[in-house]
Structure 1
Amino acid sequence: MIELEQSVLIRRPLDEVFALASDPEKDPNWTAVVEHVDVTAPLGVGVRLIQRVHLLGRRAHVPVEVLEYEPPVRVVLRANLPHIQVLGWRLFEWTGEGTRVTFRTQARLGGLFALTTPLFVRTARRHLEEDLTRLRRILESAAFQQPLQAT
């Protein structure tokens, strides 16, 4: 089992950060891997979507299911591909200085993919860090400059 966790403090209100970072449909705006998302219903428990991703030089369509949806603090997603299962937590907490965003990932690689575990871990850790940095930059940019308020 692979486990990764990365956090960032974003100096923006909780509701504002949650609105962008909790919704997988908006992932192409700030993640390096997700190119497009097909969603057929509003975000909520049980919703299924398809993410088109580009990773390690390959494109894939990844089915994703929303397991938990607790605005504005938590979203849990599950992605299943043959030989790859991923659980992802997106956690949001108001700190008084801004919103702490924590992404936690558990992955299980099977079959031949198990041989790529070290590469998977390095790549996933790098993408997670870059994505959260990009998310922070977008939300703290001039386009989002409204006074901070506790939510």
Structure 2
Amino acid sequence: MFTVAESVTIDRSVDEVFAFFTEGRAQWDESVVSEELTSPPPVGVGSTLHTRMRAVGREFSFEWRVTAYEPGSRMAVTSTSGIMPTSSELMFADANGATLVKVRIEAEPTGMMRLAQGMIAGEVRSTLETSLAKAKRILEQG
């Protein structure tokens, strides 16, 4: 198992940043090709999502269940299917009028993927850093 944690401060309100990050990762997450809500809206604990992701030159699908949803402060999801068990948590906090965003991803490569765990963790970290920088750029220019 590996854990990747990164953070960014964005010069926008917590409510605006929370909405941007939780209304679909395809707009900010560099690895997400598409994402759709597969349960009735609105999003909340128990909601389900289908995500197509691209990593190491291949496309993968994940099914997710929302395990925490606290508007303005936190959202967490856990995979129910995909190439490896994965969970992700996004936390939001006021930072003197800006917003501190913390993202934590835990994944457990199985089978032969365990041999490449270090490489996979590095790819996840790099993609997350790039994605958070993209979100900051979009939100602060908007």
With the shorter chain as reference, the TM-score category is over 0.9
Q: TM-score, normalised by structure 2?
A: 0.93
Equivalent residue in structure 2 for 1:34, among 18, 32, 35: 32
CA distance in 2, matches of 1:78, 1:102: 17
CA distance in 2, matches of 1:95, 1:138: 19
Does the 8 Å CA contact 2:6/2:103 hold for their aligned counterparts? Answer: yes
The offset of 1:97, in angstroms, is 4.0
Could you tell me which runs of 5 or more consecutive residues in structure 1 were left unpaired when the two chains were aligned.
144-151
The offset of 1:118, in angstroms, is 1.2
Does the 8 Å CA contact 2:60/2:82 hold for their aligned counterparts? Answer: no
CA distance in 1, matches of 2:80, 2:114: 15
Q: Which residue of structure 2 aligns with residue 16 of structure 1?
A: 16
Q: Which residue of structure 2 aligns with residue 91 of structure 1?
A: 91
CA distance in 2, matches of 1:7, 1:100: 7
Does the 8 Å CA contact 1:83/1:113 hold for their aligned counterparts? Answer: no
CA distance in 1, matches of 2:124, 2:71: 26
What is the CA RMSD across the aligned residues, in angstroms? Answer: 1.3
User: Aligned residues, how many?
Assistant: 140
Q: Which residue of structure 2 aligns with residue 146 of structure 1?
A: none
Other structure's SS at 1:140 match: helix
Q: 1:119 to 1:16 in 2, by over 3 A?
A: same
Higher gyration radius (CA): 1
Q: Which residue of structure 2 aligns with residue 130 of structure 1?
A: 130
Per-residue CA distance 1:102-147 (angstroms, 9 max, x = gap): 0011111111111110110110010010000000000000x2xxxx
Q: 1:8 to 1:77 in 2, by over 3 A?
A: same
CA distance in 2, matches of 1:82, 1:73: 27
Does the 8 Å CA contact 1:14/1:72 hold for their aligned counterparts? Answer: yes
Q: Judge which range, 40-49 or 127-136, deviates more.
A: 40-49
Q: 1:82 to 1:11 in 2, by over 3 A?
A: closer
Other structure's SS at 1:91 match: strand
Per-residue CA distance 1:54-111 (angstroms, 9 max, x = gap): 1111111110110010011000111244661111110000011410000011111111
Q: 1:44 to 1:82 in 2, by over 3 A?
A: closer
CA distance in 2, matches of 1:33, 1:82: 14
Spell out structure 1 runs of 4+ moving beyond 3 A: 80-83
